Amino acid sequence: MTSTEGMPDTVRLPDYQRDNHGVGIVHIGLGAFHKAHQAVYTDSALSQTGGDWRIIGVSLRSAAPSEELQPQNGLYTLIERDASGSRARVIGAIAAAYCLKTDREAVEAALLAAETRIVSITVTEKGYGLNRATGGVDPTHPAIAQDLKRPSEAQGVVGLLVWALGQRRALGRAPFTVLCCDNLPENGRILRGLLVDFARRAAPDLADHIARDVAFPSTMVDRITPAATQETLDLAEHMTGYRDKAAIETEGFHQWVIEDHFSTGRPKWEAGGAVFVSDVRPYENMKLRMLNGAHSMLAYVGFAAGHQYVRDVMADPDLSRLVARHLSAAAATLAPLPGVDFGAYANQLAERFCNPHLAHATFQIAMDGSEKMPQRIFSAVPDAGANAGDIRAFAFATAAWLRHLSLSTHDCAPYELRDPRAADLRAMAQGQHAPDLVQAVRAASFVPRDVAQDAAFWDLVTTLLQEMLTRPMAEVISREVA
């Protein structure tokens, strides 16, 4: 697919002259989520209000995204699927696609270009090298360790941005706004802390400049987007008549809440439905604890119970009751948010999880638990208050994650533990002895101190884990809802 010529009129096409719009954004992390989210909002902004805001997409390691997109002139098919049907739309917002490993010069040129006013990022939670105990970089993280030694050849996002901001300052160019779009709480503030800490270690004269002159708005991003499969490409071909190697499918729902703090302008993302606020934290907490927290719980429990996709979990009446319990426990930890009804939000989430068209694998969500559990589950524990049922929901989710770490095959087929800390976690889980595993994880640096000290919580986790290690998950689930 190199152009949209001859596409059926059921397909929505970019209705703006792509070449008339310059590039204003470099996006790092050119995965399915970016293509289903920020690029779509930008496409709507270009269509409705114009501007030089097209995107240069960059992947850090894998050449696949640029190899798929570049020959298609940056065009790709987005298929939205929900109860009301499937709709195809061709997104024109991506002007060019590169891989840092193979196209370093082009990536550097884009980061230093005067026209680049925003660098947005989706590299997933593990891509940052965050030390949760200090809020700074983790010098043992592979990308951070290597980039501290050779900052001018940075391979990770933190080192690369520090390098680019330093070069821009030397060239007399205004710094770009850094827009983190990953599922971390106060993601802008976290990224700012990481860049400043990295600069202190590798380029001390830059630390104050970054702290003082660079804008890091925080954002809450939401759209359930499974990894594309062969069926996705077949469906796109069926709907558009074109074989599109970069096609993706996603749900109809999307949400983007952003702090309006951009030092060098921004697209009119409102055109795509983005909402601008002064403080995004309450929205982040709601989404991380309710959507993502329930997702992680159902992924660990559902995977062990033999459910491949989220929709299969939701079709299991007992498990879907556990999802409802988790959503209500998470909602109870939140401060009221004017204009938002957490009960209605929970119902909408359950409906989204049921989407029969989305093949969202529980194994995909189960990945990287040590990077996800802190903001999704642990952070809610101190706010759970006196309701014993609520604490139990978080203990149950934690036990299910530990059950996943144990790699026990007493009630499921063997599987791989996918986590940046897999080696350490496997060592902690050796022997599959619930109290030892609980003690080891409790002392880990990614567990917040106040949660680590909550003995009653971990006692409950131990009891639940013991059950999960000795009974089939299906039985644990029925006992839990009984």
HEC secondary structure over 159-224: HHHHHHHHHHHHHCCCCCEEEECCCCCCHHHHHHHHHHHHHHHHCHHHHHHHHHHCCCCCEEEECC
State how far the Cα of 289 lies from the Cα of 386, in Å rounded to an integer. 18
State how far the Cα of 334 lies from the Cα of 319, in Å rounded to an integer. 23
| Angstrom distances, CA of residue 70 to CA of 22, 58, 101, 316 | 17, 11, 15, 42
Q: How far is the CB of 122 from ligand CS2 (least distance, A)?
A: 10
**Closer to ligand CS2 by Cβ: residue 266 or 295:** 295
**Closer to ligand CS2 by Cβ: residue 15 or 351:** 351
State how far the Cα of 179 lies from the Cα of 29, in Å rounded to an integer. 12
Q: How far is the CB of 221 from ligand CS2 (least distance, A)?
A: 6
Q: How far is the CB of 222 from ligand CS2 (least distance, A)?
A: 4
Would you state the structure tokens that stand for residue 456, as one six-digit string?
A: 């009653």
Bridge partners of residue 259, in order along the sequence: 277
**Closer to ligand CS2 by Cβ: residue 34 or 117:** 34
**Closer to ligand CS2 by Cβ: residue 27 or 223:** 223
Q: How far is the CB of 291 from ligand CS2 (least distance, A)?
A: 6
Q: How far is the CB of 17 from ligand CS2 (least distance, A)?
A: 32
**Closer to ligand CS2 by Cβ: residue 110 or 322:** 322
**Closer to ligand CS2 by Cβ: residue 167 or 364:** 364
**Closer to ligand CS2 by Cβ: residue 59 or 355:** 355
Dihedral in degrees, nearest 10, Cα atoms 122, 126, 127, 129: 140
Q: How far is the CB of 338 from ligand CS2 (least distance, A)?
A: 22
In the numeric block, the tokens 């003082």 are attached to 212
State how far the Cα of 113 lies from the Cα of 106, in Å rounded to an integer. 10
In contact, 277 and 259? CB cutoff 8 Å? yes
Which spans of this chain sit near ligand CS2 (rule: CB under 6 A)?
183, 222-224, 291-292, 295, 364-365, 372
3-state secondary structure of 244: coil
**Closer to ligand CS2 by Cβ: residue 266 or 372:** 372
Q: How far is the CB of 372 from ligand CS2 (least distance, A)?
A: 6
The burial of 107, by beta-carbon neighbours within 10 Å (0-12 exposed, 13-18 middle, 19 or more buried), is given as buried
Distance, C-alpha 298 to centroid of its chain: 17
Question: Which residue of this chain has its Cβ atom nearest to ligand CS2 in the complex?
Answer: 295
Q: How far is the CB of 127 from ligand CS2 (least distance, A)?
A: 13
